[in-house]
Structures are given as structure tokens and as C-alpha cells.
């Protein structure tokens, strides 16, 4: 049975919100860092999210894959761009990253289909 990445996203978002509410100054500082690095600069926000997703694949972090895949979908990253990035992540992370790259692709496909259907 395939993973339900939309349900996983809800779980991760809820857990993240709870941490940010209880985490005090360190979590406020982390949120500020995320916001600062997300702004367009020499790299676009979409390019930065592709980089973050490549790192998530290479270090094998399912939660990060879910969060950064959602951002990529929202920012209009194409499936072709995603597949090219996955290739780089696998190059850098080896065989185990191919497993997480497949998860990122499945996550992207689910989120993209949900967005297309208005879910």
C-alpha cells in the first residue's frame, strides 16, 4: 500500500506547530532563519526549496521531504525539475537516497494531484 503523504503532512504540520509553540526563543529564531532564507535573492525561493529537498533526500528525512515537496508544489516546480533534482540527490547520497528520492516523487505526485483536484 502506498503512503498517504497528505495525511503525513497533516501529522508533521501539527507536530511542528506544537514544537514551535512550546519551543521558546530557539524555535522563534529557527522560524526567522527559515523566513530569511526563503526570500528570493541570487537564487529564487523555488530553487532554494529544490536544494532543501535534495538535502532531505540525501540525509533521508521523511518529514523534510514532505515539507519541502509541499513548498515545491506551491512554488510551481515541475515534475521534470523535480526528477532532475532527485538525480543530483541520488548522486550525492547513493543508493539509500534513491529510496527517498522515490518517496519524494510519490509525495510530489500525490500533492500535485490533490492541488489539481482542489483538495
Total tally of structural domains belonging to the chain = 1
Query: pLDDT digit of tens for each residue in the chain (119 aa)?
Result: 689 999 999 999 999 999 999 999 999 999 999 999 999 999 999 999 999 999 999 999 999 999 999 999 999 999 999 999 999 999 999 999 999 999 999 999 999 999 999 87
For residue 59, the model assigns a pLDDT of 96
Q: Which domain holds residue 104?
A: 5-117
- What's the whole-model pTM score? 0.93
Query: For residues 63-80, b (16+ Cβ closer than 10 Å) or e, as one string?
Result: ebbbbbbbbbbeeebeee
CATH of the domain at 40: 1.20.1290.10
Amino acid at each position: 500500500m502506498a503512503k498517504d503523504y497528505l495525511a503525513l503532512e497533516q501529522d508533521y504540520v501539527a507536530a511542528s506547530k506544537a514544537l514551535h509553540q512550546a519551543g521558546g526563543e530557539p524555535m522563534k529564531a529557527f522560524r526567522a532563519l527559515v523566513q530569511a532564507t526563503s526570500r528570493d535573492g541570487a537564487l529564487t525561493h523555488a530553487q532554494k526549496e529544490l536544494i532543501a529537498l535534495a538535502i532531505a533526500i540525501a540525509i533521508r528525512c521523511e518529514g523534510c521531504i514532505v515539507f519541502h515537496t509541499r513548498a515545491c508544489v506551491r512554488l510551481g516546480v515541475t515534475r521534470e525539475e523535480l526528477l532532475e533534482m532527485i538525480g543530483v540527490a541520488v548522486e550525492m547520497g547513493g543508493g539509500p537516497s534513491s529510496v527517498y528520492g522515490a518517496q519524494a516523487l510519490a509525495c510530489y505526485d500525490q500533492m500535485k494531484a490533490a492541488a489539481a483536484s482542489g483538495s
